[in-house]
Structures are given as structure tokens and as C-alpha cells.
Amino acid sequence: MSKESDFELLSPFMEDERKNRLIEVLEKRTKGIVLILENFYNTHNLSAVVRSAESFGLQYIYILGQYPEEINPTITVGSEFWVTLKKEKDLDKLIKKLKKEDYLIGATVPSKEGIDPYEYEHKRPIALLFGNERQGLTKKAIKMADIIFSIPHSGFTKSLNVSVSAGIFLYSLMRNQNLRNFPLSQKEKKELLDLWAKRSVPNSQKILKEVKKRGGII
């Protein structure tokens, strides 16, 4: 049985440009920001947030409570294949886990007292909570947060669509270089590289089965 990784075994079936791109994107992935999406109703909004998160280099998105069973591929344009979506049921358990990993819990709320995300300069990573399109975050989620973030408004409208807000928050926070300096572990990188390779090569499972049968010989 070959000890080569799935990425290595599938490399002959990928163009060099594709292989290099997978590695390049992986090296820029950050755990400096993770998202927690609480009780989303609308598949369009969920899909748009996933697309923005992937574009800004995030890897982990926690989907909490109620959520759409499917995302809209027209909106995600494939971004769902490159991020890690984790479905969670227990808010307390998730927050406890993230705080143990030294995350600040940030709630996104329309409020004059909230901190402008563009001004965040701390070095600790952030778990960013977004509420649903109707009621926003639950009171429990807000109470568990360490920090409240708000987007400044100067017009009559005091709130934005949640997917628009997510894009603004991520753009603003990612300007903080500290949040980019939380790379994935080597174990995480290896697992993702194998997964991404399998998603990049048509019939990858069949190819891997045959290659491994031959001891890694193409």
C-alpha cells in the first residue's frame, strides 16, 4: 500500500497551474476569523456569506441552530467546496470550545455602542456571530459575546442585509494583519490538500483505488 498522500497520488492528473494554485490558496488560509451563523432562514444569504468567507481566506464556518438544508450553487460559484462547514446544535458548547482556543467572541449588532470592525487592532482571533435575517442574533448569543461590533451608518437605514454586512465585516477585519497570522496546522493543511485534490480531479475516488492497488505506480 502506498504511503503517498492522496494529493501526491493525484498530482499526475492535475495541471501544474492547478496544483500550485491549491498550495498557494492553502498557505494563505487563516483561522484568525471563524464565522458562526445562527438560525439562518434564507439560502441565498447563507450562500452569499459562504462565498465571501472563502474569498477572504477563511476556512471554518459554523452553522448553528436552524439553517437551510441546501445552498445555492449559482450564488456560491463553487466556494462551498473549499471551506469547512460545521453544523452545530449547542451554542454554549461551541462558544466554550472556541473560547478555550483563545477566540474572542464578537457579536454583530446594529448599535451606536458597537465597535467599528475597521478599528479592531487586537491580536486575538475572532469568532464572529451573525444572526438571521428576521430577528438578528438571539439575546443569549449577544450575552455570551466578549465584544460587540457594529457598522457605522449615516443614513436613515440602520441595518444591512446580513450577507452585505458579512462582506463589510470581513473586509474591515482582514485589514488587521494579526488576524491573518493564524495559519492552519500542518495536519489541517494535509487533510485539506488531499480533499481539494479529490475535488479537482474527475473520478478521483476510482483513480485513487486503482493507483493504491498498484502500490502508487501510475
DSSP string, 141-189: HHHH-SEEE-----SS-----HHHHHHHHHHHHTTSHHHH--PPPHHHH
pLDDT at 68: 84
pLDDT at 217: 57
Distances (CA, A) of 187 to 5, 190, 213: 12, 5, 25
Per-residue pLDDT of the chain (218 residues; tens, 9 = 90+): 457 899 999 999 999 999 999 999 999 999 999 999 999 989 999 999 999 999 999 999 999 988 888 889 999 999 999 999 999 989 999 999 999 999 999 999 988 888 999 999 888 999 999 998 788 899 999 999 999 999 988 888 877 889 999 999 999 999 999 999 999 999 999 999 999 999 999 999 999 998 888 776 55
- C-alpha cell at position 196: 481539494
5: left (phi over 0), alpha (psi -120 to 50) or beta: beta
pTM: 0.92
Fold category of 30-182 in CATH: Alpha/beta knot (3.40.1280)
Q: What are phi and psi of 17, to 5 degrees?
A: -60, -40
Q: What are phi and psi of 116, to 5 degrees?
A: -65, 120
pLDDT at 1: 42
CATH 3.40.1280.10 domain extents, the chain: 30-182
**Residues shown for the chain:** 218
